[in-house]
Structure 1
Amino acid sequence: MKKGYKGYRSYQYLEKDLDYKGFKLSKEIGRVEPYLIPLMDEEEKRVEVIINNNIVISLHDHPTIIPEDVNELMSYEREGREATAFEGLAHSCLDAVFDNMMDGTCVIGSKAGWKWIDVIHDMGMRSCDIAHQDFLIKGSNIDDIYKAKAEGKIAWFISLESATMIENELDRIEILYGLGARMMGIAYSESNSLGSGLKEKNDGGLTAFGCQAVERMNKVGMAIDVSHTGDKTAMDTIKASSKPIFISHIGARALWDMKRLKPDDVFKACADKGGVIGIEAAPHTTITRKHPRHDIDSYMEHFEYIKDLVGIDHVAFGPDALFGDHVSLHDLFSSNMSIAENTAGRSFDRIEYVKGLENPAEASQNIVRWLVKHGYSDEEIGKVLGKNVIRVLKQAWS
């Protein structure tokens, strides 16, 4: 348990079922059989030293809790009051997390999602909850990461997976920044006024308005993400940005040929511009031919492939995990997230959960353990756990 956690639960400043509709939520710890990569005694000691001496950042997660009964999930999301997994996060080794909010499930007022007022509602509601506790520090700059590390807390950063809700209004970028957003994607699965999403058969690339939006994000100091864009849109964005960008949660299409993953040329372009690539672990994504069953080993095979392709200075981790039944969430929101289009034609072992990466806490622990077990140096581990991300943030946020 991180020393900064004092036992706060989401919205405990209100009365459940009086001030808001309550749901029975999933267990934060032990929903499925926990799994930690087994290590020798000396390796265990080294893991502890590494965690204590390095900044550990999740470039992309959803550290919220979903209902235990998946049939209540849509009602829960429409209520617009996601619960943060404070206790679950306290069991992690994270010092900072980029929380991607209700992205893909922001259906408070619309089945299609991504409406401006809904996104603002989500950001405000979650920020209010964060303001009533002192374990998560609402982050706005790099100093907040170091402060959280020193105090045994976690710096919590608002990140948005798509800019769909800004429509054709550049000034909305500044409004989102003012409300706390520090990273934003160009497009999600579907195209928007900025560019093409990965769902599209024809990728038209970054639009003229998209170029203006990239320039505004650079000026404001908001980091840019292209994890869910089409390949051409991603390449155009990398070229248009005056600062390095992130591909916050992704895997290598060379290892598993599906649209959700990206090709080598996009990774190389991102790295050549100084950017960083985070490895994705959402169910049924980072699979490989060697590991057709999604788990920590298939996940780390994607890490090593991209690391070998672009170099250790340009990789990090963005597990895209949550607390609850992630597979069922994908089934329920399949159309919103373009699950069918992204996996079409692919045969893989269907899983109930990703072993070793069940939630952000387990993922953060096992990533460190895997790196130690596989002989990575302290310097290399320090880079991929946080130093690479901080380097890019210093440029993107300037």
Structure 2
Amino acid sequence: MLEPAPGYTGYTAYDYLEKGVDYHAFEYAEQIGRVPAYAGLDLNEEEKLRTTTLLANETVISLHDHVQVFPKNMGEVKDSIRFGREPTGYAGLSRSGLTAVFDNGMDGTCCISSEAGWKYQDVLFDLGVRMADLAHQDYVIKGETLKDIQYAKDNGKIAHVFALEASTMIENEVDRLDVLYGFGVRQMGIAYSEANMLGSGLKERGDGGLTFFGERAVTRMNKLGIAIDISHSGDRTCVDTIKASTKPVFITHAGARGLWPTNRMKTDETIIECAKRGGVIGIEAAPHTTLSPDHPLHSLDSVMDHFEYCVNLVGLEHVSFGPDTLFGDHVGLHNAFSSNLSLGQAHGGVTFEQVEYVDGLENPAEEFYNIIGWLVKHGYSDDEIRAVVGGNTMRVLEEVWV
């Protein structure tokens, strides 16, 4: 983990408002040091220097994260979300080394007006409030174009790219995609675990594939310049989407079912089809997802087992990282919203030993230092590391974004 970036001046989310008067405040989790620092890399001094140099000098992009800070007491998480004012973790981001982060709104848990989440008005409220906060500081900038990412790199800032994990909130209104694009959304999933008007989610018993409306939505996303994500879609819907899109698509946060047999992981067919059309898979690290037979306790090592599996399957140029971490107790969040997130169906009956957190990939502040350190330790070249931590993602965005 790095020291705070020179451009970060100490701003805390919603500093422009009066706490307790303008909004209801909670005691939030620590962004740094909530759990013990990862001790598994064992880098020598030369490797440490190479790791910090790569993190500081290269374009580093998280293809999928949640950079909000959650309450210290996860029993308060639903109350905190209902107020629609989730805080961005600026202090943690200042230590991350990230050039850009795709921040995925927690819209399945965006329960401002409904326990079920995914409501269009709630999503707009969530986006608008988060953007208002971003506008009152200048370290994290709103990322909407390739120029924004380059500006962030050149000026020691972080480009924050708004993304949504599914298109459920557009219902059957394709023009809502234009509205969301206007709000700054630059990446969207097709379906979350539950089916919607576009296609099937990964938890469903049957997968009817991409619907006719889903095809219209994919065409509109291509025209707008919204990157498409199929991480939570069902197997047939994934392949249908890849083939319907005129642009490469992302699997922003997943792993390989060939290594860990749950619905949350992607089949070899899906990963290969994604790569054949120029797309990229971002390797996932949310708790109890990318486990592996060699590392059944979820950790950096089990995540990197999925990285190497995918590299061997489709080539290094089609693999990146979407760690899917947050600031706070991620396991506690899953427990609080297990029905919204369909975790039982996603695991499909596969049993595993639970962990309190993913050792080495617990939050956005530490993840890429440890990922790059692991790659350095395991003999990857600077060019290979440069590609998987940002270059591959930039290549796709050059084709997708307008």
Q: What is the TM-score of this pair, normalised by structure 1?
A: 0.99
Match of 1:10 among 6, 9, 13: 13
Match of 1:96 among 78, 88, 100: 100
Give how far 1:51 is off: 1.9
Match of 1:20 among 7, 10, 23: 23
C-alpha distance in 2, partners of 1:343/1:209?
A: 28
* 1:30 matches 2:33: yes
SS in 1 for 2:102: strand
Q: 1:89-144 CA distances to partner (integer Å, 9 max, x unpaired)?
A: 11101110000012321111101110000000000000000000001010110111
Q: Which amino acid aligns with 2:319?
A: V
C-alpha distance in 2, partners of 1:5/1:234?
A: 39
Q: 1:226-279 CA distances to partner (integer Å, 9 max, x unpaired)?
A: 000000000000000000010000011111111111110000000000001000
Match of 1:299 in 2: 303
Give how far 1:149 is off: 1.3
Structure 1, unaligned runs of 5 or more: none
Are the aligned partners of 1:3 and 1:153 in contact in 2 as well (CA < 8 Å)?
Answer: no
Give how far 1:362 is off: 1.0
* 1:236 matches 2:240: yes
C-alpha distance in 2, partners of 1:344/1:76?
A: 30
Q: Which amino acid aligns with 2:335?
A: D
C-alpha distance in 1, partners of 2:300/2:310?
A: 16
Q: 1:150-197 CA distances to partner (integer Å, 9 max, x unpaired)?
A: 221100000000000101111111110010000000000111100000
Structure 2, unaligned runs of 5 or more: none
Q: 1:61-116 CA distances to partner (integer Å, 9 max, x unpaired)?
A: 00110000011001011111100000001110111000001232111110111000
Q: Which amino acid aligns with 1:19?
A: D
Aligned length: 398
C-alpha distance in 1, partners of 2:207/2:162?
A: 28
Give how far 1:345 is off: 2.0
Match of 1:269 among 269, 273, 291: 273
* 1:225 matches 2:229: yes
Give how far 1:346 is off: 1.5
Give how far 1:34 is off: 1.6
Within a 5 Å distance, the mapping from 1:280-299 to structure 2 comes to: 280-299=284-303
Match of 2:82 among 70, 78, 81: 78
Q: Please say which of residues 338-347 and 190-199 is displaced more in the overlay.
A: 338-347
Match of 1:245 in 2: 249
SS in 2 for 1:100: strand
C-alpha distance in 2, partners of 1:307/1:104?
A: 31
Runs of 4+ residues deviating >3 angstroms? none
Are the aligned partners of 2:256 and 2:309 in contact in 1 as well (CA < 8 Å)?
Answer: yes
* 1:175 matches 2:187: no
**What is the RMSD of the two structures over their aligned residues, measured on CA atoms?**
0.8
Match of 2:70 among 53, 66, 73: 66
Are the aligned partners of 1:102 and 1:122 in contact in 2 as well (CA < 8 Å)?
Answer: no
Q: Please say which of residues 118-127 and 50-59 is displaced more in the overlay.
A: 50-59
Match of 2:394 in 1: 390
Match of 1:260 in 2: 264
Match of 2:217 among 213, 218, 223: 213
C-alpha distance in 2, partners of 1:149/1:4?
A: 12
C-alpha distance in 1, partners of 2:95/2:400?
A: 30
SS in 1 for 2:109: coil
C-alpha distance in 1, partners of 2:53/2:28?
A: 34
Q: Which amino acid aligns with 2:25?
A: G
* 1:343 matches 2:347: yes
Are the aligned partners of 2:296 and 2:353 in contact in 1 as well (CA < 8 Å)?
Answer: yes
Q: Percent identity?
A: 57
C-alpha distance in 2, partners of 1:345/1:172?
A: 36
Give how far 1:53 is off: 2.6
C-alpha distance in 2, partners of 1:224/1:96?
A: 17
* 1:130 matches 2:138: no
Are the aligned partners of 1:57 and 1:95 in contact in 2 as well (CA < 8 Å)?
Answer: yes
C-alpha distance in 1, partners of 2:364/2:21?
A: 31
Are the aligned partners of 2:221 and 2:227 in contact in 1 as well (CA < 8 Å)?
Answer: yes
Q: Which amino acid aligns with 2:7?
A: G
C-alpha distance in 2, partners of 1:343/1:206?
A: 22
